[in-house]
Amino acid sequence: MTIFTNFFYSFMASLFFALLFNAPKRSLPVTAAIAGIGYVVFILITQNLGSKPLGFFLATLIMGLLCEIAARVLKMTTTTFVTIAVIPLVPGLGIYRTMQFIVQNNYEAAVQIGIPTLLAAGTIALAIAISTFAVKLFLHFWQQ
Amino acid sequence: MLNEQEINKIIKIVKLEAQIILENGGETYRVEDTVMRICRSFGLIDVEPVVIPTGMFITISHDNLATHTIIKRVRRRTVNLSKIDAANLISRQLTTGRISLDEAIIQLEQIIGDKSKPKILTATASALSAGFFTLLFNGSLFDFFIAALCGAVIQLFSFLLQGEDMSNFIISLTGGIFTAVIAITATQIFNMGNMDLIISGAIMPLLPGLAMTNAIRDTIQGDLVSGVARGTEAIIVAIAIAVGVGVVLKTLILMGGGLN
């Protein structure tokens, strides 16, 4: 897949995901665009540096920062953006594969896939938290 | 100086705001923050909000007046970002003095009463979201349509369970089952498509992304009770989905079918 198709698919997937959670209309294009950009960043880092955890971390961090900016520019809550935008990165395939190996009684493979999946989920959540507090810290010192 | 009547109105507003944000997927610290902000803007400095995902305790004291305490149990929790946004807008307008207390109460009650979530639109959104996730995982056009079918079926089924206490868990479990059954049946009948990609794409909209993110945000913020509660919710939902899919896959293996 090219960069553009990656961007397009994650844009569309997040757009409809946002509609599913009844996100405000005004936020839709912005959230979807952030989701697309983040996913492309993830693909680029994974392909060029060969590290998935780093990809998850940096891509989510960038998305988190973009969401914080979008929330302040559009005067909406950060939750509106961030919960939708990170969805393409959530390791659905990993969760499925883990289960697939468990039902095949192949526990070794299940652990091999399961642990990185769990770590990916943790990394995403942590990167969002870090971006939130980085912005808070920045604003705190900026205002002084 | 505030009189008793105004205090009562403020308390009502605070209660409605907190209820809307908490019921529709907002973080607990956001609820506490909103409560403090509204109260402070009216000169009520002595406010202690304690909010957990299943309820809230708010005490408001004021010189010369009685201390008021609100305890509210929140049972129904869904995700509706529009309502959080609307409640947020009202609190912004209220604290900057652009709307009166009475106007705020009327608007907040409208938000709570608003049950309209267009069903066809939601089902379509669920379907297309699942479909595009499958494409994102490198699925074919056939996979796209089958995943979209799964997404639509899950959403239509969840309408049936709306308002039930256990709905969150049951929807995740049955969502996993439906997805796996449809994906396996379709790939077997048409003898094409990739079952793995269909299933993993279709379960994406079900995964507890919001709960997981909120859990970490709450924990780091210092809201340990909420963090643990949300974290448990996320884990249970994820396990429910995985078990739903797993049961069907295991049945397939026991019936003699193989997994590719």
Query: d(Cα B134, Cα B146) in Å, to the nearest integer?
Result: 9
pLDDT, one tens digit for every residue, chain A (144 residues): 788 999 999 999 999 999 988 899 999 999 999 999 999 999 999 999 988 889 999 999 999 999 999 999 998 888 889 888 988 998 888 888 888 888 888 999 999 999 998 898 889 888 988 898 888 899 889 887
Is B217 buried (19+), middle (13-18) or exposed (0-12) by CB count in 10 A? Answer: buried
Task: Answer yes or no: do B59 and B22 share one domain.
Answer: yes
Residue of B80, B136, B250 to mutate for A, most A C-beta atoms under 10 A: B136
d(CA B4, CA A141): 40
Same domain, B101 and B178: no
B155 vs A contacts (CB less than 8 Å): 20
Task: Indicate if B109 and B123 belong to the same structural domain.
Answer: no
Helix (H, G, I), strand (E, B) or coil at B180: helix
| C-alpha–C-alpha distance, residues A133 and B220, integer Å | 9
Domain enclosing residue B76, as ranges: 4-113
CB contact under 8 A, B216 and A128: yes
Answer whether A49's CB lies under 8 Å from A113's CB. no
Domain tally, chain B:
2
| Residues B214 and B125 occupy one common structural domain | yes
Q: Is the Cα dihedral B8, B14, B18, B21 positive or negative?
A: positive
Looking at the fold, whether B132 and B216 belong to one and the same domain comes out as yes
Q: What is the DSSP letter of B139?
A: -
- Claim to verify: residue B109 and residue B207 sit in the same structural domain: no
Write the CA distances from B20 to A115, B72, B83, integer angstroms: 36, 12, 7
Mutate to test the interface with B, among A2, A11, A16 (most CBs of B within 10 A): A16
pLDDT at B125: 92
- Angle between helices B195-203 and B167-190 in degrees, nearest 10: 160
Structure tokens at B199: 């299933």
Structural domain boundaries, residue A46 = 3-142
Question: Nearest to residue A38, comparing CAs of A137, A104, A124?
Answer: A124
Q: Report the domain count for chain A.
A: 1
In our burial notation (b when 16+ CB lie closer than 10 A, e otherwise), range B109-147 reads eebeeeeeeeeeebbbbbbbbbbbbbbbbebeebbbbbb
User: d(Cα A83, Cα A78) in Å, to the nearest integer?
Assistant: 8
Residues B241 and B159 in one domain: yes
pLDDT value of position A55: 93
pLDDT for B257: 66
Chain B contacts of A1, Cβ < 8 Å? 138
Alpha carbon B247 to its chain's center: 26
Task: Give contacts of A98 with chain B, Cβ < 8 Å.
Answer: 242
**Last residue of a domain, which of B113, B138, B162?**
B113
* Per-position b or e across B48-67, b if 16+ CB within 10 A of its CB: ebebbbeebebebebeeeee
Parallel, antiparallel or unpaired: strands B55-62 and B47-52: antiparallel
Same-domain status, B82 and B138? no
**B60-87 pLDDT, tens per residue?**
888 777 788 989 998 877 888 899 999 9
Nearest of B212, B203, B205 to residue B180 by alpha carbon: B203
pLDDT at B193: 83
Pair (B127, B247) in one structural domain = yes
Judging by beta carbons within 10 Å of its beta carbon (0-12, 13-18, 19+), is residue B9 exposed, middle or buried? Answer: middle
Name the residue of chain B whose CA is nearest to A129's CA.
B217
Q: Which of A83, A71, A87, A73 is nearest to B81 (CA)?
A: A83
Among the candidates B93, B113, B133, a domain finishes at: B113
Q: Which residues of chain B have pLDDT under 70?
A: 1, 116, 163-167, 257-260
B165 within a domain of the structure (yes/no)? yes
| Spatial contact of A66 and A34, defined as CB atoms under 8 Å apart | yes
**Does residue B260 form part of some domain?**
no
Per-residue 3-state assignment (H helix, E strand, C coil) for A38-91:
HHHHHHHHHHHHCCHHHHHHHHHHHHHHHHHHHHHHHCCCHHHHHHHHCHHHCC
pLDDT at B216: 81
| Identity of the residue in B30, B125, B245 whose CB atom sits nearest the CB atom of A20 | B125
Residues of A in contact with B239 (CB under 8 A): none
pLDDT given at position B165: 64
Asked if B82 and B178 sit in the same domain, the reply is no
| Terminal CA-CA length for chain B | 74
Residue B29's closest chain A neighbor by CA?
Answer: A79
> Within a domain: residue B91?
yes
Check residue A17 and give its pLDDT. 92
Helices B141-160 and B195-203, axial angle in degrees (round to 10)? 40
Q: B113, B138, B173 — which closes off a domain?
A: B113
- Tell me the nearest-neighbour CA distance from B213 into chain A, angstroms: 5
Give yes or no: residues B87 and B166 share one domain: no
Report how far residue B28's alpha carbon sits from residue B16's, in angstroms, rounded to the nearest whole number.
14
Residue B228 is encoded by which pair of tokens?
């643990």
pLDDT given at position B166: 65
B259 falls within a domain: no
Of B85, B138, B205, the CB nearest to A77: B85
Residue B203 covered by a domain: yes
Are B156 and B49 within one domain?
no
Distance between B2 CA and the closest CA of chain A, angstroms: 30
